[in-house]
Chains A and B, each alone.
Chain A
Amino acid sequence: MKSKILMAILALVIAGLIAVPWIASYFYVFIFTEILILGLFAASFNLIFGYTGMLSFGHAAFFGVGSYATALVLIHLQWPFLACLLVSMGASALLALVIGFLSVRLNEVYFAMLTLAFGMMVFAIAYQWRSVTNGSDGLAGFSLGSFGLGLDLTLGNPSVYYHVVLGIVAIASIVLYVICRSSFGMILKAIRQNPERVSFAGLNVRTYRLVAFVIAGTFAGLAGGLIAPFLRVASPELLHWSMSAEPVLMAILGGTGYFLGPFVGSAVFVLLETWITSFTESWMLVLGIILALMVIFFRKGLLGTLIDWWMEVKK
């Protein structure tokens, strides 16, 4: 009964998401495009944080590299959009392999500091390698051509782009969900709860962590590839550690224990940001207070707290 109600709510949400361009103004189409892309970014982060128990503060490295990859391919090669996204995923996967190899063998405090430092290293490269990345201005002035697969889509139209993003994020989320529910995902959960026991069971914890880190980096790269045409620029801000903090905040806000938690977090984050910045510049102050309260009192996040409450009530 309960799972049926949950499925019905999910179906309603999906139907609502599909209908956004027909029932809402362009303003909300933009907002929901951002929610979906950042939601995928946060969900990829949660694979290593919520599932595997590794708190990374450098996830923006993969997001930003993904956006630069798509921007560079569009500027220099004008490939179809799908090919750009594949390049983004490949570039981020490769970077995640290198950073992950150096970082996953260390415990959580070290891991958090290291990923932060490596993330800032990528930021420094994008900032200083002017001939390729155009320095602090970032890459702009690219336009989307065809989509690929012979589909005739006007990607320049925000509504069309929204639906493309919705489709790609949906497919990516299903893939991520399948990974989380697979035996591989179960081992990741076990690693979060007790790494010693997993390694006594004969499994190589380090390899599992590295694979999870690369998968997360790959999907963050995909999200980055989607954000570049949306923002019409790939700039170093996308690589900065304040960008790395966003998926952390979204995952905590929504709830790290549920697959959809980061998406809920992303929606609340973006809507709250839009609403609060309309009357004060101190969005970060509000965010800090919310985060402190969430960590101290609602560690399960909004979705987790809601579901707990609902289970209590409906008993």
Chain B
Amino acid sequence: MSGIGSALLNSLDIGLLLFIIAVGLNIVFGVLNIINFAHGALYMLGAYLAFTLINMVGMPFWAALLLAPIGVAILAVIIDRVLLRFIYSRDVADSLLLTFAILLIINESVRMIWGSGIQVVQPPQLLSGSVQLLGSSVATYSLFVIVIGLILLAGLWYLFNRTRVGRIMRAAALDRDMAEALCINTRMVVTGVFAFGAWLAGVGGVMAAPMRALDPGMGDKIIIESFIVVVIGGLGSFPGALLGAMVLGLIHGFGGRYLPEVNLLLPFVGMALVLLFKPHGIMGKGATT
């Protein structure tokens, strides 16, 4: 029983972290109609910036959680204004290629700045212990990730459904020309949404830093996971991202514990199954040609 309980908690913290990252990818796709291949690289950048702020500058974890994602978002504004503006009117394939080029540039820059070795970020004192829960000991940090994940989930839901900014974003996603006709500065919306997506990736990176070792390949790993989440849940769907992330979280939480020989394979099997029966993802719509 305690095994199942801790596997469940483990699934929840992996799932919510994945949700934060994948929902950023989804929002950017929804409004900009581009798949940001560099999303994982931005996540990695968030983690490494936190590493520098905490271990080099000596800031507390909380300050890094606040500042590092903003740094990532600022970089995203630059990327948008300097590079992406050329390809918004082009084929989707071009945006994949260009963001892939950005991924190569960020990956290699990280390797140059921080080295290819593994770096470690310690969780803050307050969260470094463990607590007894459901009959087993759980890392306090996992609970913290779950709490932050739930807060962000609620915040995003509120933003999209209850605020003017959220309505503008959804309007731009539905019909950009129409939004423009209604005096919405869609150029600003596009840059803002791209930066917001990057901010979410950055938050995910900082949150992941104390749980996982930092290495220059971490972004590539997460982008594939995010793709699987999006495929399972449905591209551009907010509840889909949550569902997909939870499914993948469960696969990791239980697969890693009970089926260690095939745990690398399981996410792909889940994805293939969803595709066979629901090609657009469980919550998706209109992806077939």
Q: Which positions in A face B, CB cutoff 8 Å?
A: 53, 55, 57, 102-103, 105-110, 112-114, 116-118, 120-121, 124-125, 127-128, 195, 205-206, 241-242, 245, 248, 252, 282, 284-285, 287-289, 291-292, 295-296, 299
Bound: A228/B35 CA distance, A:
34
Name the interface size band of chain B.
35 or more
How would residues 247 to 268 of chain B score, 1 for a CB under 8 Å from any chain A CB and 0 otherwise? 0000000000000011011001
Bound: A172/B107 CA distance, A:
35
Bound: A35/B227 CA distance, A:
32
Partner of B104 from the list A53, A107, A284, A296 (CB cut-off 8 Å) is A284
Q: Which residues of B50-100 are within 8 A (CB) of A? A: 83, 86-87, 91-94, 96-98, 100
Q: Are B98 and A296 in contact (CB under 8 A)?
A: yes
Q: Which residues of B82-127 are within 8 A (CB) of A? A: 83, 86-87, 91-94, 96-98, 100-105, 107-109, 111-112
Q: Are A292 and B268 in contact (CB under 8 A)?
A: no
Bound: A192/B98 CA distance, A:
20
Q: Are B268 and A285 in contact (CB under 8 A)?
A: no
Partner of B83 from the list A105, A205, A296 (CB cut-off 8 Å) is A296
Q: Are A106 and B287 in contact (CB under 8 A)?
A: yes
Question: For B190, what are the chain A residues with a Cβ–Cβ distance below 8 Å?
Answer: none
Min C-beta distance of A301 to chain B, whole Å: 12
Most buried by A among B96, B104, B107, B276: B104
Bound: A57/B103 CA distance, A:
14
Min C-beta distance of B45 to chain A, whole Å: 14
Partner of B35 from the list A102, A113, A242, A299 (CB cut-off 8 Å) is A113
Bound: A126/B92 CA distance, A:
31
What are 14 A-B pairs with beta-carbon distances under 8 A?
Answer: A53-B93, A105-B289, A108-B91, A109-B35, A112-B93, A113-B227, A114-B271, A114-B275, A117-B268, A195-B289, A282-B108, A285-B112, A289-B101, A291-B104
A53 (CB) vs chain B CBs: closest residue: B93
Is B288 interfacial (CB-CB < 8 Å)?
yes
B281 (CB) vs chain A CBs: closest residue: A110
Min C-beta distance of B130 to chain A, whole Å: 30
